[in-house]
Amino acid sequence: TLDKLGGGAWQSRKARLKKRLLDMAGQLIRIAAERQMRSAPPLVPAEGLYGEFAARFPYEETDDQQTAIDSVRDDLAAGKPMDRLICGDVGFGKTEVALRAAFIAAMEGFQVAVVVPTTLLSRQHFKTFSQRFSGLPIRVGQASRLVGAKELAETKKGIAEGQVDIVIGTHALLGSAISFKNLGLLIIDEEQHFGVKHKERLKDLKTDVHVLTLSATPIPRTLQLALTGVRELSLIATPPVDRMAVRTFISPFDPLVIRETLLRERYRGGHSFYVV
């Protein structure tokens, strides 16, 4: 039912909502204040090792991407828990920023948790991280429903004993069954896709560790926190060199157009998703 504007029920509902908003704002400010008061070990990598890892990146960093990387390095070296949002379109290089941060934390002896909303993204990140960290004394693990029971049990044990340096997974990482020995960096990809319960768990994890959030479409609250200075913000607005702009077309249903589009992508060697 709809309340009458200015009526008693409307005023009561509005008062309850206002109180909830004030409580939420107070909690966010309190968490931010507590983080400012806390200290964290400065994470400064050996320049030679870091340079070698950065050289593995097969592309040239864009100006925005390099600025974001430098900002993250400054945050990690500042002696206070980092809380930075990296905002950029898909394919603009946010993952490389996360890889550099993960390298610094892992080489300094801290564990890294990369939390993603879907198993598909978990598998994609696991492949990317495994390739970039191959040949280095850093063990990368995965925790999602795509992982077999035996492998998952070994990963959980490795996390608890500190043998797994970087773990990538879905909300399974946020469960009470997983205990980190020395978590130092939490990387959150597309936080807006997590449920309320998982966000509450993220809040608990965020208290003492460095936090790096990646998003192409941050929710208004997340963006507002960044714009008001509660969280630091890095924008990657420049596409990689030679990348063509993404174009979106809307047209009436036409099976011939669909067939031509799918065949064109097939001949190009790309992938297509057909949603009905």
> Poorest-confidence range of 35-49, 67-81, 250-264?
35-49
pLDDT score at 125: 95
pLDDT score at 184: 92
* DSSP-derived 3-state class of residue 195: coil
pLDDT score at 220: 62
Which of 26-30, 61-65, 86-90, 270-274 holds the top average pLDDT?
Answer: 61-65
pTM recorded for the entire structure? 0.77
pLDDT score at 229: 53
**Residue 100: is its pLDDT beyond 70?**
yes
Q: What would the pLDDT profile of 166-177 be if each residue is shown by its tens digit?
A: 999 987 787 777
pLDDT score at 240: 82
Cβ neighbours of residue 85 under 8 Å, at least 6 residues apart? 213, 215, 218, 222, 223, 225, 226, 231, 232, 233, 234
The dihedral through the CA atoms of 120, 58, 163, 200 has a sign that is negative
Average pLDDT over residues 39-66: 91
Q: Where residue 219 falls among pLDDT bands split at 50, 70, 90?
A: low
Q: Where residue 203 falls among pLDDT bands split at 50, 70, 90?
A: low
Half-sphere exposure of 23 (CA within 13 A, CB side): 6
Q: Tell me the pLDDT of the chain averaged across its residues.
A: 85
pLDDT score at 83: 87
Nearest-angstrom CA–CA distance, 106 and 86: 20
pLDDT score at 198: 63
Q: Which two tokens stand for residue 19?
A: 């109180």
As a whole-number percent, the residues of the chain with pLDDT over 70 amount to 84
pLDDT score at 175: 74
> Poorest-confidence range of 85-99, 128-142, 145-159, 182-196?
182-196
Q: Look at 55 and 13; give whichever has higher pLDDT.
A: 55
Q: Where residue 69 falls among pLDDT bands split at 50, 70, 90?
A: very high
Q: Which two tokens stand for residue 131?
A: 């390739």
> Poorest-confidence range of 33-47, 212-226, 236-250?
212-226
CB contact at 8 A, 211 and 81: yes
pLDDT score at 276: 82
pLDDT score at 200: 57
